[in-house]
């Protein structure tokens, strides 16, 4: 993420050059790398052996002591899987934007897992900023709306406005990942170690980051997760808002975006039949659960009718665990980071030089982007 080392400088000579180059050690980046690996300060100190203590790690991270020496930085690099230059960013990249992540759920997760997912989003943002500057990628074009009162009607109107702004009409949305990435969001998957954590997003002003569960997640649920996280980005840019209703607001936005009221009402049958709902499920790219919830929201069926349909679907074994047929929506995959790397390669950049400029090792670059240097 901004490496100006002389070419051919490697190993201990490279590290010594980095330390002597004048850039101060970034405690915030040490914290980011540690949390990315899911380690506490004490666990990192234990892994380092006797050369540094838990309190010393805290002091490094908080900038309360002089920068660590060459041996300690080398050990940070080896254990955490980051190039030494990662911890010595140049002036324009020293600050990390302070944005609170939105998690689908706050309870039931280990704090370290939530920190690891948040750190993955922060690191992806650093990489995306650098790749944008290196490749000339277009800036994000995701609208933010200042809506004084986010009641159900206002949320429906905002979802419709997003469709108008993006010129996608009012029918089913195709590839949700491609839609979001084409407007500048970065979508990536969580690590295997934090797969239990549901989707989250960090609404950075320049390039929002969305972290999804691993690929084994239900594709239709993933589409709803993406719409939900977009709701946070669009509706909740003001992070001083009271958090109580944020998740329910994002949920309503996702329903309205994926199934606009004007078209879903016309599509829903007056008398629900499981086969017809199965067709609508694949046509709109939403789960049975989301479809039934939307039918209630737009008051197409009353609660008694929805309950009866739910029982019919359960009797067929289609709920609560839904069938594994997803139509064309089974192949939605993030590609933005890959395309940036491909564009740089096409201009003559080697993957090794890209990795060094990002301050990442081959291991950390592949883990984050899925891109192998092999």
Q: How confident is the prediction for the chain on average, in pLDDT?
A: 85
* Confidence at 5, pLDDT banded by 50, 70, 90: very low
Highest mean pLDDT among 3-7, 194-198, 208-212, 348-352: 208-212
Q: Would you state the pLDDT for residue 373?
A: 54
Phi, psi of 166 (to 5 degrees): -90, 0
Give the span between the Cα atoms of 340 and 209, in whole angstroms: 16
* Confidence at 216, pLDDT banded by 50, 70, 90: low
288-342 per-position pLDDT tens digit: 999 999 999 998 988 888 899 999 999 999 999 899 888 888 778 898 998 888 8
* Confidence at 239, pLDDT banded by 50, 70, 90: low
64-110 per-position pLDDT tens digit: 877 788 888 999 999 999 998 899 887 655 566 667 888 876 666 78
Span of 110-114, 231-235, 246-250 with lowest mean pLDDT: 110-114
pLDDT higher than 80, residue 257: yes
* Confidence at 17, pLDDT banded by 50, 70, 90: very low
Contact in structure between 253 and 228 (CB atoms under 8 Å): yes
- pTM here is 0.88
Q: Where in the chain is the domain with CATH 1.10.260.40?
A: 1-96
Per-residue pLDDT, averaged over 129-133, amounts to 89
Please give the helix or strand (H or E) that residue 308 lies within, else none: helix 303-315
> Of 78, 60, 61, whose CA–CA distance to 69 is shortest?
60
135-173 per-position pLDDT tens digit: 888 888 898 888 878 899 999 999 999 999 999 999 999
Q: Would you state the pLDDT for residue 190?
A: 83
178-200 per-position pLDDT tens digit: 999 999 999 998 876 776 677 88
User: Can the peptide bond before residue 156 be classed as cis, meaning omega within 30 degrees of 0?
Assistant: no
Give the span between the Cα atoms of 228 and 236, in whole angstroms: 12
Q: Would you state the pLDDT for residue 242?
A: 57
Q: Which residue has the tokens 């209703």?
A: 245
Give the span between the Cα atoms of 125 and 135, in whole angstroms: 15
Contact in structure between 223 and 285 (CB atoms under 8 Å): yes
pLDDT higher than 50, residue 13: no
- Enumerate the β-bridge partners of residue 188: 211
> Of 44, 74, 71, 38, whose CA–CA distance to 56 is shortest?
44
Question: Which CATH code is given to the segment(s) 1-96?
Answer: 1.10.260.40
């Amino acid at each position: 993420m901004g490496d100006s080392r002389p070419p051919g400088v490697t190993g201990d000579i490279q590290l010594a050059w980095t330390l002597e180059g004048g850039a101060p050690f970034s405690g915030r980046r040490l914290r980011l790398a540690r949390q990315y690996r899911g380690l506490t300060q004490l666990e990192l100190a234990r892994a380092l052996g006797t050369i540094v203590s838990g309190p010393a790690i805290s002091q490094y991270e908080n900038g309360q002591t002089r920068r660590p020496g060459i041996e300690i930085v080398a050990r940070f690099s080896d254990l955490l899987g980051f190039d030494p230059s990662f911890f010595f960013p140049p002036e324009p990249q020293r600050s990390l934007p302070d944005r609170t992540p939105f998690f689908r759920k706050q309870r039931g997760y280990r704090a370290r897992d939530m920190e690891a997912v948040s750190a993955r989003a922060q690191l992806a943002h650093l990489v995306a900023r650098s790749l944008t500057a290196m490749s000339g990628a277009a800036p994000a074009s995701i609208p933010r709306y200042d809506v004084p009162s986010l009641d159900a009607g206002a949320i429906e109107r905002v979802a419709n406005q997003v469709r108008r702004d993006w010129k996608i009409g009012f029918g089913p949305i195709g590839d949700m990942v491609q839609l979001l990435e084409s407007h500048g969001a970065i979508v990536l998957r969580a690590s295997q170690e934090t797969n239990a954590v549901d989707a989250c997003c960090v609404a950075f002003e320049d390039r929002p980051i969305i972290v999804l569960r691993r690929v084994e997640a239900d594709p239709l649920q993933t589409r709803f997760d993406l719409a939900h996280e977009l709701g946070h980005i669009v509706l909740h840019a003001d992070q001083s808002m009271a958090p109580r209703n944020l998740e329910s607001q994002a949920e309503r936005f996702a329903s309205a975006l994926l199934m606009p009221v004007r078209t879903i009402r016309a599509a829903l049958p007056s008398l629900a039949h499981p086969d017809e709902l199965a067709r609508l499920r694949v046509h709109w790219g939403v789960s049975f659960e989301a479809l039934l919830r939307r039918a209630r929201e737009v008051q197409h069926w009353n609660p008694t009718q929805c309950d009866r349909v739910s029982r019919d679907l359960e009797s067929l074994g289609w709920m609560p665990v839904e069938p594994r047929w997803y139509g064309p929506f089974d192949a939605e995959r993030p590609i933005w980071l890959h395309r940036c790397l491909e564009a740089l390669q096409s201009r003559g950049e080697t993957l090794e030089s890209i990795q060094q400029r990002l301050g990442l090792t081959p291991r950390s670059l592949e883990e984050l982007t899925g891109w192998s240097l092999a």
